[in-house]
């Protein structure tokens, strides 16, 4: 039985109700952030409705990429990107957006009002898994704008994760889940497709103290540093310090992260030497590492780049990559220790 679901609790809490109740903790709140979050949940519902028909859309779009309604069939990651942008560009809540799919910031069209928040997102993370019907996700982060007025700027997007107002993700798996934190705990909602609502299923998630799994693409171990290899030996119990953890890796960050959050353990994507063009690993600070670090921190865990907290890093570029170690604090700090002892001395 899912330990987070109380079958005796008759109160049904929709995401809308939850967000409104969270708003009570912020007497200064105007409701804009609440509405913004609701629009993100709406984007998630729309993307979920399309991703669960992925194979069918291919069939429908097989001729000239047009479906039977005469609409052009987009790739799912383009569709997700477009959905989030279009559901949020006209609301007057955002000053600017940035997406992993675009090299530059995405301005709000001039005909619409500019708002006080900034939205950064990875529209469909792990999209290489779509062809295999494996879980994929959307990751998002909301900040307050720094600029005072007019169109939002690049600087508005380059804020450290510790200044995030809301971070979260939507997981399109065997069910669709939205997990978010606005700095007051981490809460998970499951989409009930029969009524089209996200319902609170995982209130106040805390990462279990006893870790269960480690999650990493072990196929790249030949490219790792000595410290990362020694840390992996530690997780496998090879140096006798602990009982080995089981390995789980889907290759879809949201799904690997979600399992780590609920089961306890660590996910890492270290610096590796296989691709000289990206010596800092693969994952992006703004769209992937930061929002998940924020959610993990609120669930009692920790995220590091191997040297310092992810949330403390001052971003220099929109698409900056970063090594990521995320999960139970003791394990992440152990990774930092191995890196310090074996790699930093070189
Ligand atoms: P994407 O943003 O292009 O989808 O890439 C990010 C994905 C993550 O979901 C996942 O953790 C990682 O790439 C897997 O990479 P690899 O195949 O190198 O293990
Ligand atoms: Mg991604």
Residues, beta carbon < 5 Å, ion ligand 2 = 122, 125
- Do 339 and 227 reside in the same domain of the chain? yes
pLDDT in tens, 300-324: 999 999 999 999 999 999 999 999 9
Q: What percent of the chain has pLDDT over 90?
A: 73
Q: Is 37 part of any domain?
A: yes
Q: Tell me how far apart the terminal alpha carbons of the chain are, to the nearest angstrom.
A: 49
Chain Cα centroid distance, residue 346: 33
226 C-alpha to center of ligand 1: Å?
Answer: 23
Q: 258 in ligand 1 pocket by Cβ < 6 Å?
A: no
In short, whether 229's Cβ falls inside 6 Å of ligand 1 is: no
pLDDT exceeds 50 at position 60: no
Contact 266, 260 (CB under 8 A): yes
CB of 319 within 6 A of ligand 1: the answer is no
Domain end point (choices 138, 172, 202)? 202
Last residue of a domain, one of 172, 202, 232: 202
Residue 272 confidence class, pLDDT cut points 50, 70, 90: confident
| Cβ neighbours of residue 14 closer than 8 Å, sequence gap 6 or more | 197, 198, 199, 200
Pick the ligand that lies closest to the CA of residue 215. Answer: 1
Residue with the nearest Cα to atom 14 of ligand 1?
251
Residue 8 is assigned to a structural domain of this protein: no
Find all residues with CB under 8 Å of 266, minimum gap 6, and list them: 211, 214, 215, 235, 260, 325, 326, 327, 328, 331, 332, 335
Q: Are residue 101 and residue 181 in the same domain, yes or no?
A: yes
Rounded distance between C-alpha atoms, residue 249 and residue 257, angstroms = 10
Which residues, listed in sequence order, are joined to residue 326 by a DSSP beta bridge? Answer: 267, 303
Specify whether 120 is located in the same domain as 244.
no
The domain in which residue 89 lies consists of 15-202
Q: How far away, in angstroms, is 190 Cα from ligand 2 center?
A: 22
Q: Which residues, listed in sequence order, are joined to residue 100 by a DSSP beta bridge?
A: none
Q: At what angle do helices 32-51 and 15-23 cross, to 10 degrees?
A: 160
Q: Is the CB of 127 under 6 A from ligand 1?
A: yes
Instruction: Evaluate: CB of 217 within 6 angstroms of ligand 1.
Output: yes
Q: Which ligand is located closest to the Cα atom of residue 129?
A: 1
Place of tokens 């992810």: 310
180-216 as b/e: b if 16+ CB within 10 A? bbbeeebbbbbbeeeeebbbbbbbebebbeebebbbb
Share of the chain above pLDDT 70, in %: 90
The domain that holds 286 is classified in CATH as 3.40.190.80
Do 110 and 147 belong together in one domain?
yes
Q: Whose CA is nearest to atom 15 of ligand 1?
A: 251
CB atoms within 10 A of CB 309: 17
Specify if 4 maps to a domain: no
Claim to verify: residue 225 and residue 145 sit in the same structural domain: no
120 pLDDT higher than 80: yes
Domain membership flag for residue 120: yes
Residue 314 inside a domain? The answer is yes
Q: What does the alpha-carbon distance between residue 271 and residue 224 come to, in Å, rounded to a whole number?
A: 7
For ligand 1, whether the C-beta of 282 sits within 6 Å is yes
pLDDT at 337 over 90: yes
Listed residues 170, 202, 234: the one ending a domain: 202
CATH of the domain at 154: 3.30.540.10
Distances (CA, A) of 121 to 18, 55, 140, 141: 22, 25, 4, 6
- How far is ligand 2, taken at its centre, from the CA of residue 251, in Å? 11
Q: Is the pLDDT of residue 61 over 70?
A: no
Same-domain status, 139 and 77: yes
Distance in angstroms (rounded) separating the CA atoms of residues 157 and 152 = 8
Instruction: Let me know whether 300 and 232 are in one domain.
Output: yes
How far away, in angstroms, is 16 Cα from ligand 1 center?
31
Dump pLDDT digits (tens) for 221-247. Answer: 999 999 999 999 999 999 888 899 999
Between 32-46, 186-200, 270-284, 308-322, the lowest mean confidence (pLDDT) is in 270-284
Do 226 and 183 share a structural domain? Answer: no
Task: Give 123 Cα–ligand 1 centroid separation in angstroms.
Answer: 13
Whether residue 144 is found in the same domain as residue 280: no
pLDDT at 1 (0 to 100): 44
Ligand 1 pocket, residue 272 CB under 6 Å: no
Q: Do 219 and 177 share a structural domain?
A: no
Task: Looking at the structure, tell me whether residues 180 and 231 fall in a common domain.
Answer: no
Is residue 9 a part of any domain in this protein? no
Model confidence at 57, pLDDT cuts 50, 70, 90, reads low
Residue 253 near ligand 1, beta carbon < 6 Å:
yes
Q: Atom of ligand 1 at shortest distance to CA of 267? A: 11
Do both 159 and 271 map to the same domain? no
- H or E segment and range at residue 177: strand 176-181
| Strand 324-327 versus strand 265-269 pairing type | antiparallel
Which mutation among 126, 127, 139, 215 tests ligand 1's pocket best, with the greatest number of atoms within 8 A of CB?
A: 126
Residue-level pLDDT at 152: 95
- The domain total for the chain is 2
Q: What is the mean pLDDT of the chain?
A: 90
Q: What is the whole-number distance in angstroms between the Cα of residue 252 and the centre of ligand 1? A: 6
Helices (H), the chain: 15-23, 32-51, 54-60, 76-88, 154-157, 226-235, 253-263, 290-298, 329-338
Give the pLDDT of residue 72.
55
Cβ(89) to ligand 1 under 6 A? no
Q: Residue 259 pLDDT more than 90?
A: yes
pTM, full prediction: 0.92
In the sheet where 176-181 sits, what is the strand order?
106-107, 94-99, 117-125, 136-144, 166-172, 176-181, 187-192, 197-202
Arithmetic mean of pLDDT, 56-77: 58
Please identify, by atom number, the ligand 1 atom nearest to the C-alpha of residue 136.
9
137 lines ligand 1 (CB under 6 A): no
The verdict on residue 165 lying in a domain is: yes
Q: Label residue 256 by pLDDT band (50, 70, 90).
A: very high
Give domain status of residue 243, yes or no: yes
Which helix (H) or strand (E) segment holds residue 213: the answer is strand 213-215
pLDDT band at 10; cut points 50, 70, 90:
low
Which residue is it, tokens 């959905």?
A: 83
Binding site membership of 251 for ligand 1 (Cβ less than 6 Å): yes
CA of 79 to the centre of ligand 2 (A): 15
């Amino acid at each position: 039985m899912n330990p987070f679901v109380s079958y005796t609790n008759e109160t049904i809490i929709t995401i809308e109700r939850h967000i409104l109740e969270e708003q009570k903790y912020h007497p200064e709140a105007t409701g804009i952030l609440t509405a913004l979050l609701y629009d993100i949940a709406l984007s998630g519902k729309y993307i979920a409705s399309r991703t669960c028909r992925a194979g069918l859309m291919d069939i429908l779009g097989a001729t000239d990429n047009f479906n039977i309604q005469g609409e052009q069939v987009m790739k799912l990651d383009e569709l997700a990107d477009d959905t989030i942008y279009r559901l949020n560009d006209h609301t007057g809540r955002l000053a600017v957006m940035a997406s992993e799919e675009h090299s530059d910031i995405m301005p709000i069209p001039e005909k619409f009002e500019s708002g006080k928040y900034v939205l950064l997102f990875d529209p469909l993370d792990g999209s290489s898994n779509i062809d295999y019907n494996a879980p994929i996700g959307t990751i998002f982060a909301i900040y307050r704008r720094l600029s005072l007025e007019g169109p939002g700027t690049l600087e508005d997007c380059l804020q450290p994760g510790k200044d995030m107002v809301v971070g979260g993700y939507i997981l399109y798996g065997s069910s669709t889940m939205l997990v978010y934190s606005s700095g007051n705990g981490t809460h998970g909602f499951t989409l009930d497709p029969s009524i089209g609502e996200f319902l609170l299923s995982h209130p106040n998630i805390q990462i279990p103290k006893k870790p269960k799994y480690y999650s990493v693409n072990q196929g790249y171990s030949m490219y790792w540093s000595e410290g990362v290899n020694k840390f992996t030996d530690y997780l496998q119990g090879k140096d006798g310090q602990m009982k080995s953890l089981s390995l789980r890796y889907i290759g879809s960050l949201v799904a690997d992260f979600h399992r780590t959050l609920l089961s306890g353990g660590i996910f890492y994507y270290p610096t590796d030497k296989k691709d000289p063009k990206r010596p800092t690993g693969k994952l992006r600070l703004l769209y992937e590492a930061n929002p998940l670090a924020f959610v993990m921190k609120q669930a009692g865990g920790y995220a590091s780049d191997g040297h310092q907290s992810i949330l403390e890093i001052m971003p220099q570029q929109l698409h900056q990559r970063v090594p990521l170690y995320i999960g139970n604090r003791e394990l992440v700090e152990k990774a930092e220790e191995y890196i310090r002892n074996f790699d930093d001395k070189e």
